[in-house]
Every structure is written in C-alpha cells, then in structure tokens.
Amino acid sequence: MKVVIYSMVLMVMFSGRIKAQSDPMRVSADSSVMRLSMNDGKESQPAAFYTVLNEAGKPISVTDINGSVTLKIGIPVTVRSYFSRDTSFIVPDQPEFSVSLSPNVIDLEEVEVTSYTVEKLMTLAGRDFSSRYPTSPLLYHINAHSFIKDRKRFLEFYQMDGLALLSGNRNWSKWSFAPGGKPDAYFYLLPLEQRMSDRFGYDGEPIPYESYDESGGIRWVVMPFMSRPVYRGLEVCGPMFLKNHKYYEFAYSYDEETDEDYVVHFKTKERYRQEDAKNIFLIGEGNLVIDKTNLRITEVNFEFSQYHDVNFEIKREGRRKDVAGKIRMRFTGKDVFYPSELEFTCYYLGENWYSPREDPVGHGIERYEKLRFGPHTKDPLKEDMEQVVRSFDFVGMNSQAGYDSDFWRKDGHVPSTLYSEISRSLSTNISLEKQFRNNSGKRWKEWDSKRDTPQRVFPEAKDFDEGVERHENLIKEIREKRFRNVYDYLKMRKDESY
C-alpha cells in the first residue's frame, strides 16, 4: 500500500554560518580554533565528534566534546553529514571562529513512499536482523587483502586466503575481545595461502614489524586487519540491531532509494556522543540498505568519527582512539544473516591506536582492508570448539603459509588497476613478485630473541632457538593437519557465496 505524504523534515538539511570571535587565545600563529555547533531553531549545542574533511574528502580532524577543533589557517575544509548540506569554507586568518549548523527552510515537496514510517520500517527490519544474526561460532572460508599507504606511495601489501572464526557473541564485557586466554568474543584469521610484500618506511627502506623507543615504548607496530575490533564494535552497538535504535536518529534517503531497496540514513544522537557514554564503540553516521521485498538489511555503511576500544572499561582513560574512517558490511543468507563482505578504510588522527608508522598524521597514513567471506560450517572438526578457538588464538596471522603464484593468478580478488598501482609503487628496488617469494613461509611478526620467549610454551626446550623450532613445528601441524581439510572442503563450496 502506498500513500502520498507531505513533510518538511523528510530530509533535514543544515547550512554553515561562520562568525568571528574576539580576544581568544590563539593556539599557534598559523592555526585557528573552530567552534562547531548545532542549532535547530530552538537551542544551540556543541557539535561533538564531527569529522572535518580536507579538499580530497579525507578526515583530517574531529571536533572534541565541546565542538572545538584546531585547524591550519588558509586550508579548505568541509563538514559533511547525511543529515546536513555540505558546509565548506577556507579556515580564516583569525584566532577563533564559529560555524553554526542550522536548519534550512525548504520548499514543500510531494514524495511518494510506502505506508511505513521510518521508525516502523526500522523496527521491522531491526527485529528481523536481530533474530537472524549468528549467535554461535562459525568457521568461514575467507579471502582478504590490505594495504597501507601515505600521501606519496604504497608502503605494504598483504593478502591471505584461509579461514576466519567468528564467535557470534553480541554481548559486551571488558577485555572479552582480547587475544590470549579464553576470550568470550573473537574474530580470528588463519592464512592457508598468502602473499606478503616487504614493509617500507617513508624513505622506501624496509622496516621491521615493530619499533621501540629508548624507553622501551612502542613507536609503531604493523598489525594486520585492524577492521576486526571495529567490526566487533559494530556487532555490539550497530544500528542494524533493534536494541540499539535508541542511540540513533533515522531518516529516509529518497534520492538514494531504488526499485529494489530502501536506504535509511542514521546518525548517533547528540546525547550519546560523550566519550564515556555506555557501551557505544562507534560514533558517527551512515546508511542502511533494506530489501523492499522482505525488509531485510543487506548492507550497513558506517562513517565513524570516533572509535572506542572494545576492551577498555567504559570510563577508562585512553578509551577513545584517534582514528576516523568507514566500515561497510554486507550480509547474505535466508534463515541466518552471514557476513559476506567487509570493507574498511581508516585514517590516523593521532598515534594511540596501533600506529603502523611513526608520525602517521604528518604523512597522511591510510589503512585499507577488504575481507570476502565464503561458505561456513558450524562444526568444522567435530571436536570441542574450545580447542578450535585455542588453536586459532595460538596461530593467528603467524601461520607461516607459503606463496603459490599459480594459486593467486586464479584467486587474486584484487581489482587489476589497483593491483597494478600497488605493484608499481612497491617494486622500486625489488619486484613485488620477488618479495612474495622471499616472504613465502614467513611469520607476520618476526621472532625477537630479546623480547619473545617461545621456550615458555615448551618447558622442555633448552633455549630460544629450540623454542622457536618447536613453536613453528606445532604451527605447521595445526595448519596442515587440523585445518587444511576443512579449508579445502569450504573452498569447493565457494560458488555458493562468492
């Protein structure tokens, strides 16, 4: 049934108004403090944790809890929202200025929609998604690739084909997602095939997995697939689940709607943008794609301006991480909704979240990841799932998988134009193909005789070298004898999901 409705709030839009301030304290000679506020015509309040974009549309900063942010004078910036009109301007040469986002007066527009209000649609779709999302561990075939780049070039590339183990646990408690021990929630990856480039610094020279300063503090650490804890945050507080709808505002997007799908915009409500606000781990906005035939959520796009560590206590200092970006999830299935694709882009606004290089802000570091989920199984080995979890936790990304050029010619899954660009950038001194061969069978994290103690796992080992040997032999046994068969089985079924 369709009805015609008239509304002035179907698409809420804002415009920016810049106002100079007098006699504030200038942060530095070449910077200015912007005060961003929201004005709905009744009251004005700080626009907390909104992303500021540069001319290329990439995040360069985020407003704080008071709606303030320090920006370099003379640069073009944009404040963008699904719920507002883009507000673009040149940062003025003055110590402080204000930008007020206020409602536009728009013409009445006749819009033909279904009889569902957005609230009713989200209730139906959210209830359906909540009832169909996996609630028990599942083992998936997965193909995933990632790269890190600065403003000038690619710095590393990695791709794996193997297995992913997801817990299906949507409940949150502190440290429940931490590796080691017995985590209640997890998202493990185990490579069975891999191709790994060298890791390069800004000067084009190879760098190690991690680096320490003189005091022993970590300067950088190259951790793969950091989308996993962000996806965990989405599992706990995402707008696709009915219980989380209280945290969000929703609105139809009629200009993006198609004959097959509704598109609903969402954003975190202003009162939940506080750093210590309950167990909310992603703050920002985005959209949901909902199939019109069955009201099922098939895609979630979340542009986050804040990520809060999924393991930290609610009010712990340092819970907020200085990153912003996008995570897109696609889902498939009938009785159960399984993840089919995860795409993740992350920009560093500070160094408090696994910085992959020193000074990531100054060099415009960007992290990109794409994970494609294939067929799955509930009972991969007909054994105690606790043992499976323990094996995944023990091996992790350090499966020492080999490189097979014939395999990757068939199962690359990286767009040819992108791969060519990556190859050209990383092949300055040695070809990317040769890097793959040189890194075949290597661990992601190199052994460090000064910091690693593999002999603790094997008390019978006489020294570090014997501990490494025993450790690597066990990894090989787990990889080949325990998981190779189920991997081969799932790959045979890949046409069902790919």
pLDDT digits (tens, 9 = 90+) for 33-66: 999 988 777 778 888 899 999 999 999 999 998 9
| Residue 218: per-residue pLDDT | 82
Return the structure tokens found at 201.
């610094």
Burial class of residue 315 (count of CB atoms within 10 Å of its CB; 0-12, 13-18, 19+) = exposed
Does residue 67 register a pLDDT over 60? yes
Residue 406 has pLDDT above 70, yes or no: yes
Summarize pLDDT for 449-484 with one digit per residue, the tens. 988 999 888 989 999 999 999 999 999 999 999 899
Res 400: pLDDT: 95
Instruction: Please say if the pLDDT value at position 208 is more than 70.
Output: yes
Predicted local distance difference test score (pLDDT) of residue 494: 61
Residue 195 has pLDDT above 90, yes or no: yes
Q: Is the pLDDT of residue 300 over 70?
A: yes
Q: Mean pLDDT score of the chain, rounded to an integer?
A: 87
pLDDT-above-90 percentage for the chain:
63
CA angle 472-474-480, nearest 5°?
100
Q: For residues 120 and 131, give the distance between their C-alpha atoms in angstroms, rounded to a whole number.
A: 17
**Residue 105 clears pLDDT 70, i.e. is over it:** no
* pLDDT per position as a tens digit, 384-394: 788 888 899 99
Q: Name 166's bridge partners.
A: 138, 187
Q: Give the pLDDT score at 84.
A: 74
What was the pLDDT predicted at 440? 97
Using pLDDT thresholds of 50, 70 and 90, give the confidence band for residue 496. Answer: low
Task: Tell me which residue of 491, 472, 494 sits closest to 483, measured CA to CA.
Answer: 491
Query: Taking residues 78-88, what's their average pLDDT?
Result: 83
Q: What is the pLDDT of residues 234-246, one digit of tens each?
A: 999 999 999 999 9
